[in-house]
Amino acid sequence: MAGGLIALLDDVAALVKLSAASLDDVAAGASRAGAKAAGVVVDDAAVTPKFVEGVNPKRELPIIQRIALGSLFNKLVIILPVILLLSQFLPWLLTPLLMIGGTYLCFEGAEKVFERFGWIAHHEKETPAAEQSTDGAAAEKKVVRSAITTDFVLSCEIMVIALNEVAGESLTSRAVILAVVGVAITVGVYGVVALIVKMDDIGLHMAKKESAGQQKFGRFLVGAMPKLLALLSVVGTFAMLWVGGHIILVGTDELGFHALYGFVHHLEEPVAAIATVGGFLGWLVNTFFSLILGAIWGGIVVGIVFGIKALVKKDDTKDTAAA
């Protein structure tokens, strides 16, 4: 009996160790995957507050909550099963899909740069919130639907980028890691978005306090919000170009075109050999050239897209004149 109990306890201990190791693997995988998706996350945090501009302040947090739940549905119910099936049965599709997502990131980043310098006409994606004159349920539903649609594109990129980092894991591990990444990123992004959106309200509340220090800090918060949103937009643009460029850099190498990756890797090697800071310097070199590649790649795509738009518009004008 004692021997059987000891054996049982040994089995339990082994299971506990195995579970702990599995959790460590999941945590490590989620950390790697989440880090790679950082560029899209920053852009998500910069874009989302625009969807609640002009709404009743009392409805801001409920709307953000509904968008966050929609984002979770996008990631866990729609995107996760699809990309897991692809990774299991059509893994060769992942690199092209990832490069499509990277190209989209480069395009979005380059388009913002072009608009900033006035090289192309500036345009904003329509936000139903800005058009609202009432707080009706239909208008709020339109805001949420539009935000969730935009989130779907960003969520696809986040999940595919994350999957690429853990493609070598088992199917179960991939599923758990991606679910953890999806939940963590959604909670993190929309938690930050909620804080940003309510920052001016918090500042106004503090500005009415009796304490001079609280009043000063409250006014600082109110004045800092537009600057913070502007900073997030700039950081998000650079992050999109960097992440998108890195995806293209690695993707071309995996598809057999080694020149670009080999060139960057060759430049990394001398600085990577420097003691203590070599790893960081190597990362900086890779990031810099990924950013440059992303800007060039995105610029080419912007030129193609706007060229096609101009041709279509020209044809439409001719047809109208002929009619």
Q: Where are the domains of the chain?
A: 1-321
Q: In angstroms, rounded to a whole number, what is the distance separating the alpha carbons of residues 5 and 10? A: 9
pLDDT at 129: 45
pLDDT at 112: 87
65's tokens: 């909550």
pLDDT at 321: 65
Q: In angstroms, rounded to a whole number, what is the distance separating the alpha carbons of residues 26 and 18? A: 12
Q: pTM higher than 0.75 for the full model?
A: no
> Amino acid identity of 241?
L
CA distances from 210 to 164, 205, 206, 214, 223 (A): 54, 11, 9, 8, 19
pLDDT at 101: 81
Q: In angstroms, rounded to a whole number, what is the distance separating the alpha carbons of residues 53 and 50? A: 5
Which is nearest to 143 in space by CA: 58, 48, 233, 232? 48
* Angle between helical axes of 80-89 and 94-116 (0-180°, round to 10): 130
Q: Would you list the DSSP string of 57-77?
A: HHHHHHHHHHHHHHHHHIIII
How many Cβ atoms from other residues are within 10 Å of residue 239's Cβ? 22
Per-residue DSSP letter, 120: S
Q: Would you list the DSSP string of 140-184?
A: HHHHHHHHHHHHHHHHHHHHHHHHHHTTTS-HHHHHHHHHHHHHH
Ranges of the chain with pLDDT below 70: 1-55, 122-136, 316, 318-323
